[in-house]
Amino acid sequence: MIEAIGLRKSYKELEVLKGIELDVARGSVFALLGPNGAGKTTTVRVLATLTTADGGVARVAGHDVVAERSRVRRAISLTGQFAAIDELQTGAENVRMMARLAGLSRSAARSRTAELLERFDLTGAGGRLVRTYSGGMRRRLDLAASLVGDPEVIFLDEPTTGLDPRSRTELWALVRELSARGTTVFLTTQYLEEADRLADRVAVLNGGRIVAEGTADELKRIVAGHRLDLVLADAEAYERLAPHATYTDAGTLTVGMPTDGSGAHVRALLDEFDPDRTRVERFSVHSATLDDVFLTLTAAESAHV
C-alpha cells in the first residue's frame, strides 16, 4: 500500500532523507520511529504529497506521489501533530465542514457526521464548541474529521503527543479498529510503547536513514532477547559502567546491559563488570524493550556521523 525506493530530500545544505526504502502492507499498522530531526515528518510529507522529494520514487495506494498526486490525495488522510480543528465551531460543525469539502452532499454530510461522532464516542459533545473539549476529545474529533472520505491510508504524525495516559489508550483502540477495518495506518511516534503495542512492523529512522526494520520482536532480538539491569553502589561505579550500557538512569544509578538471559551469560556479565563484587548492589533481568532497540540503534548510528 505504501512503497518508497531511494527517497532523498535536502533543505539547502541539510540532507534530511538519504535514500530511504519502505514497503507497507495493506491493512497493516506501520510505525516509523526516530529521534527529533531524524526525518519522520519529512517522510510523511513526501508520502502525503505535501513535499516533493529530491530523488527516488514513492507510491501510495498504487499511485505515484508526484505523477498522480490528485489520486494519492483522494486515497489518503493526514492527521498531524496538532489537531487541525476550528475551536469556534462545534464538533459536529467541524466534521460536517470536512465532509462538505470532501464533496459530500448536505444530506450525506449530515449522515456521515452522525456516524463518525457515534463511532468516536462524541455524539453527546457534538453540539458543544470545540474550545470546551479536552485534549483527548480534540484528538478524537480530529481523527473523525480526517475519516469523512473513508481513506485507504491514514498518516498519523505523532498523534498522541501531549495526551494523558487514558486518552492515549483510547486513541490506541481507535487505531486498532481502523486497521481491523482494512485501513492502512502509517504512524510516526516517539513513544516506544505505542509502537510496540500497535505496529505490525516497525522501522527506526536515524540520520536520514532506515537503520533497522522488522516486527517489534525481531528488532528486540537485534540488541538481545533480554536486558540485565544493574543498580550500582555509588556514582563512581555508575560513571565507570554507563558508557558500556544500552540503558542508563543516573537518578537511580542503574545501567542496563544486553544479555541472552541465560544464567551463564548473566554470571559472565556480573564477573566482567563487577569482578571484586563491590560495584553492584542488586540486579534484575527482563525482556528487552523497543527503548533498548531505539537507544542502541540511534547511538550506534550517531557514533558514525
Given 202, 220, 238, which residue is the final one in a domain?
Answer: 220
Strand partners, 231: 254, 282
Number of domains in the chain: 2
pLDDT for 302 beyond 50:
no
- Say if 293 falls within a structural domain: no
- Say if 167 falls within a structural domain: yes
What are the distances in angstroms from CA 87 to CA 91, 93, 141, 175? 9, 10, 11, 24
pLDDT one-digit tens code per residue, 17-45: 999 999 999 999 999 988 888 899 999 99
**Model pLDDT, residue 184:** 96
| Per-residue pLDDT band at 288 (split at 50, 70, 90) | low
Written as one letter, the residue type at 175 is: V
Residues 6+ apart with CB under 8 A from 289: 192, 196, 220, 227
Strand partners, 7: 20
pLDDT for 66 beyond 60:
yes
> Do both 125 and 216 map to the same domain?
yes
| Per-residue pLDDT band at 305 (split at 50, 70, 90) | very low
pLDDT (average), residues 242-257: 88
**Model pLDDT, residue 225:** 65
- Say if 120 falls within a structural domain: yes
Written as one letter, the residue type at 84 is: A
Given 190, 220, 250, which residue is the final one in a domain?
Answer: 220
- Say if 119 falls within a structural domain: yes
H or E element in which residue 252 lies: none
> Do both 229 and 211 map to the same domain?
no
Q: How far apart are CA 147 and CA 183, in angstroms?
A: 10
> Do both 110 and 124 map to the same domain?
yes
Residues 6+ apart with CB under 8 A from 181: none
> Do both 19 and 133 map to the same domain?
yes
- Say if 181 falls within a structural domain: yes
> Do both 94 and 53 map to the same domain?
yes
- Say if 300 falls within a structural domain: no
> Do both 215 and 245 map to the same domain?
no
pTM recorded for the entire structure: 0.73
pLDDT one-digit tens code per residue, 147-160: 888 889 999 988 87
Given 170, 203, 220, which residue is the final one in a domain?
Answer: 220
> Do both 268 and 178 map to the same domain?
no
> Do both 277 and 180 map to the same domain?
no
pLDDT one-digit tens code per residue, 112-147: 999 999 988 899 999 999 999 988 888 889 888 888
The domain that holds 200 is classified in CATH as 3.40.50.300
H or E element in which residue 290 lies: helix 290-303
Residue with C-alpha cell 501531549?
162
> Do both 20 and 103 map to the same domain?
yes
pLDDT for 238 beyond 60:
yes
What is the torsion angle, in degrees rounded to the nearest 10, for the CA atoms of residue 62, residue 64, residue 70 and residue 76?
50
Cβ 191 vs Cβ 185: under 8 Å: no
> Do both 11 and 136 map to the same domain?
yes
Domain containing residue 254: 225-287
| Per-residue pLDDT band at 211 (split at 50, 70, 90) | confident
| Per-residue pLDDT band at 303 (split at 50, 70, 90) | very low
> Do both 103 and 193 map to the same domain?
yes
**Average pLDDT score, the chain:** 88
- Say if 294 falls within a structural domain: no
- Say if 75 falls within a structural domain: yes
> Do both 233 and 212 map to the same domain?
no
What are the distances in angstroms from CA 152 to CA 19, 71, 91, 271, 283? 25, 11, 24, 54, 48
Could you give phi then psi for residue 109, rounded to 5 degrees? Answer: -65, -40
pLDDT (average), residues 40-61: 95
